[in-house]
Amino acid sequence: MLLEIDDIHVHYGKIAALKGISVSVEQGEIVTLIGANGAGKTTTLKTVSGLRSLSSGAVRFDGRDISRMPGHKRVLAGIGQAPEGRGIFPGMTVEENLLMGAYARKDDSSKELAEAYELFPRLAERRTQAGGTMSGGEQQMLAIGRALMAKPKVLLLDEPSMGLAPMLVQQIFSIIQEINRRGTTVLLVEQNAQQALQVAHRAYVLETGRVVKSAPAGELLDDPQVRAAYLGGASGENLAPAPDVASADSDTASADSDTASADSDAASAKSDVATAETTEESEED
C-alpha cells in the first residue's frame, strides 16, 4: 500500500469536516474521491499533504506514519499536490514556476522540465510568460506541471478540470492517464464524476465527512444510487455538464453556440469561486 488514510478525523475549529475517513491507494493506481460540495474531499487531500492537521487517525505513506510530518518534508517524501485554486506564482514566468516545483530537490531537474513541456506543449510555448497572465486553463496545467517537477510518487489533484472549457476537460483527463501510465500514482478529487470514474481504477464516495461507498470505478459508473446523486440521472451516457446543454440538444446549430458561451460563463464563474475559496483559506491558515 503506497498511501493509507486510516480513520482520520479533521476539525475546523469545532466543526468536524472529516468524521473518520479511510482511503487506501496502491502503487500505480488512479483513485478518485467524489462527492457533493462540502463533503470533505479537499480537506482529505490537505490532510495528506500536511496543510491540515488531524485530530485522530493516521496517514501512512510508503511504509511510514506521516501524520505529524511537516508539509515540506512530505513533498520530499514523494507527495505532490496541485492545489485547488492553482496557487501559482503570478509574477514568475511559466518556467520559473515549474522550477519552483523542483526547488527542494538537489539533483538536476532538466529531465522533468522537458517532460512537463512534453505533457503540456502550451507551457513550452509560453515559458517566458508571467504565470499570472496565463489563462485559467493554462494555470491549471502549470499547477500540475509544477507538482510533477518534484517527481512525486503520488500526485494529489484537486478538481483539475475546474473552470476548463469542455475540450480542455477531455484533454486534462487524458493527461492524468498519461501521467499515471508513466508511473505516478494519482489521488484525484473531482466534481466531474463521470470523467473521473472513467479514468480511475477505484473510487470512494464521500458524504458529509464520511466514506459512504467504495468500489472499482467502473462499478460506480453503473451504480443506480451513484448515477442519481453524482452523475446527473438514472441513465444515459456521457451526461452533459450543465442542464442547459442537454436541453439545447434538439435545437439548431445556433442554439448550440449559445450553449457553448453560456457554458464558459459558468466555467469562469466557478473558477472565481475557487479563487475566493483559496483566499479565504489562506487567511484562515
What are the residues binding Mg ion (CB under 5 A)?
A: 41-42
Q: Measured between alpha carbons, how far is 128 from 92 in angstroms, rounded to an integer?
A: 9
The CA distance from 207 to 108, in Å, is 43
Nearer Cβ to Mg ion, position 17 or 149?
17
Q: Which is nearer to ligand ATP, 256 or 277 (CB)?
A: 277
Q: How far is the CB of 158 from ligand ATP (least distance, A)?
A: 7
Tally Cβ neighbours within 10 Å of residue 269: 10
**Residues 6+ away with beta carbon under 8 Å from 26:** 1, 2, 185
Residue 97 CA to residue 143 CA, distance in Å, equals: 8
Give residues in contact with ligand ATP (CB under 6 A).
12, 15, 17, 35, 37-43, 191, 281, 284
C-alpha cell at 177: 492517464
Burial environment of residue 264 by CB neighbours within 10 A (0 to 12, 13 to 18, 19 or more):
middle
Binding-site partner at residue 38 among ligand ATP, Mg ion, none, CB < 5 to 8 Å by type = ligand ATP
Query: In angstroms, what is the minimal distance from the CB of 9 to ligand ATP?
Result: 12
For residues 41 and 122, which CB has a smaller minimum distance to ligand ATP in the complex? Answer: 41
The residue ranges of DSSP E strands in the chain, in sequence order, are 3-12, 15-25, 30-35, 56-61, 64-65, 79-82, 154-158, 185-189, 202-207, 210-216
Name the minimum Å distance from CB 84 to Mg ion: 5
| CB of 156 vs ligand ATP, minimal distance in Å | 12
Q: Cell numbers 492524468 label which residue?
A: 176
Q: Which is nearer to ligand ATP, 117 or 173 (CB)?
A: 173
Return the one option of Mg ion, ligand ATP, none that residue 39 interacts with (CB less than 5 to 8 A, by type).
Answer: ligand ATP
Nearer to ligand ATP, 122 or 160 (CB): 160
Least Å distance, CB 192 to Mg ion, is 13
Binding site partner of 281, from Mg ion, ligand ATP, none, Cβ cut-off 5-8 A by kind: ligand ATP
